[in-house]
Structures are given as C-alpha cells and as structure tokens.
Amino acid sequence: MRGGYRVPMHGPVLARPLVEPLGEEEENEHKFVDRECYEFNPALRPVWNDRHCEHCRHYLTARCRHLDEFLDDVEDLTPE
C-alpha cells in the first residue's frame, strides 16, 4: 500500500510574541498582579494560582476593593 506524506508548510507555533511589549503596555502588564488583598479562587485549579487579580476570589465582585479600577480599565478598551 502506498501512502503520501506532506511536510507542513508552516513554521513553529510560538506561545508568545517574539517582541517584548514596551512602555505603557509593560507597565499595565503588572498592574493587576500581586496585590495585598489577593485571595486565590478555590474554584480554579491550583496551578492557576499566579497571584493575578483575575484569579482572585473577589475579582469583579462587590467584595473587591479595586473594582472601580478594574472597571476603568475595561472602559478604556471600549470603542468611541
């Protein structure tokens, strides 16, 4: 039985961009990480406990002390 084999034409798939973000983007990257009020959400897998606010049990809830700051950040992304 004869079969064909095709070599994939794409290159390797990278998990992150080759160019590191600069300036304001880099500052925002650490904006919602490692806050003093962080409390891991036990509904998530333990490997996700990276101290990012989005994995906090209070993220986007009324119990979050920084809710206004999160909402302001979301408003910045809405088109005008």
Instruction: Tell me, yes or no, if the pTM score tops 0.75.
Output: no
User: If you search the block for the tokens 């049990």, which residue do you land on?
Assistant: 57
Fill in the amino acid letter for 35: R
Domain count, the chain: 1
| Residue 38 lies inside a defined structural domain of this protein | yes
Q: What pLDDT does residue 78 have?
A: 59
Decide if 5 is inside a domain: no
Q: Which residues pair with 52 in a beta bridge?
A: 33
Enumerate residue ranges in the chain where pLDDT < 50.
22
pLDDT, the chain, mean: 76
Please give the pLDDT value at position 80. 61
Q: Look at residue 61 and tell me if it is in a domain.
A: yes
Q: What is the pLDDT of residue 30?
A: 75
Q: Tell me which residue range forms the domain holding 36.
A: 24-75
In a domain, 47, yes or no: yes
Q: Is residue 43 part of a domain?
A: yes
**Is 41 inside any structural domain?**
yes
How many alpha carbons fall within 13 Å on the CB side of residue 28? 12
CB 25 within 8 A of CB 7: no
Residue 62 lies in a domain: yes
